[in-house]
Structure 1
């Protein structure tokens, strides 16, 4: 029984390591992702919403602080690091 469990665990581990192929992105998609990260590092981002309906009015706010902004990381460095890391995911057709 122990050998069976060990064998099953081994196959689950191997299948997990093999996994699926990593998704490739276009250079425009990578640039957009990295620009969003740069914007997040420049300062807080947020959304304000106001609505009215049959049940009355409502308002909401969402404010996001990215960790790169909080530690004071240069947004240009965030962009360059992102482009460097994402370079392997660009579809090179």
Structure 2
């Protein structure tokens, strides 16, 4: 399964890129994820991506999605949230 999707916001014609964190090694991450996130383990040993933002760190867990918008911002969504918020192209 390909873990990178092209998304269409509802109701717009703007395309976005989404990537699902499934524990891939760093070299398989898209460049925009490599440049903005770091891999770490939580206190309970769970893999997580840490994405630093001006408002504080976002923690992305296995199975969650990172969405790269046209302004260079990155947000994260659970699988259910991404399917509710976007149309998959």
More helix by share: 1
Please say whether Structure 1 and Structure 2 have the same fold, judged by a TM-score greater than 0.5. Answer: no
In our comparison, the structure showing a higher alpha carbon Rg is 1
- TM-score bucket (shorter structure): under 0.3
Normalised by the length of structure 2, the TM-score is: 0.22
